[in-house]
Amino acid sequence: MNKKVFNNSDLKTIRELQKNEIHIWCIQWHEIAVKIQCERCFLEKNEIVKADKFINDADKYRYLVGRILTKYLAAFYLSVQMENIIIKEDNFGKPYLKCKTKEINLQYNLSHSGAYLLLVFGYGMSLGVGVQEKIQLADYKDIAEHFFHKYEYQAICEDPTENTFFDIWTAKEAYVKAIGKGWSQDSDSFYIKNNNIYSLNEKLGNWRIYRFKLDRNYSVAIVMGEHLQKGD
């Protein structure tokens, strides 16, 4: 599977998404937050209502950028008009894409932290992404002890820095989003070890973790799963 990473400047010349690729968009959302406001017309009524309920302007703009950019990129990949793209949610709250004009199998996921918004797209596979700014957490070991698997907690305690904690955190976030259960999945029911995912001491071979350098102050993980039925 080929992985292509893009940023704000690449929005001017978007590349076609191939069947054997995933596209990862690392967006500094504040740079385009004001400009993208003119695209609110492509939002559904419930999306506008949700955006207007945010008290904090940063939360509002980040939501709008994520929603509008998702539709903009999906429309390009699918060669349809932007108004034909709808973002729905399943019973666990995982967002997925629908198109008003044809059946599609374009998958996506989104995560944000600090200055960054990450979007990942691919055809016919389960996808999850996690990004986290490495803020100082005095109690990160306590968090790991109570909410992470014992093997993860051990690895975190062996690292004098917080890097292992954030790397595990983002991988776990990406995995629960990829399987579509979010944090309703017990966070200690599986564990991350050597960049692999295990459950009941068995390696889940149909899942892959991909990492890349975004910024030294951020940790990123993308989880890719088994292929879904083929389609556009």
Determine the pLDDT at residue 93: 84
182 pLDDT above the threshold of 70? no
d(CA 43, CA 66): 11
Is residue 229 pLDDT above 50, yes or no?
no
pLDDT at 185: 67
- Any idea where the domains of the chain sit in the sequence? 2-130, 134-205
Tell me the percentage of the chain whose pLDDT exceeds 90: 74
User: At a CB cut-off of 8 Å and minimum separation 6, what does 108 contact?
Assistant: 70, 74, 95, 96, 97, 119, 120, 121, 122, 127
Mean pLDDT of 221-229: 76
CATH H superfamily, domain 2-130: 4'-phosphopantetheinyl transferase domain (3.90.470.20)
Instruction: Give yes or no for residue 231 having a pLDDT over 50.
Output: no
- Determine the pLDDT at residue 1: 84
CB 87 within 8 A of CB 51: no
Greater confidence (38 vs 151) lies with 151
pLDDT of residue 98: 96
| pLDDT tens column, 123-180 | 999 999 999 999 988 899 999 998 999 999 999 999 999 999 999 999 999 999 998 8
Question: What pLDDT was estimated at residue 226?
Answer: 67
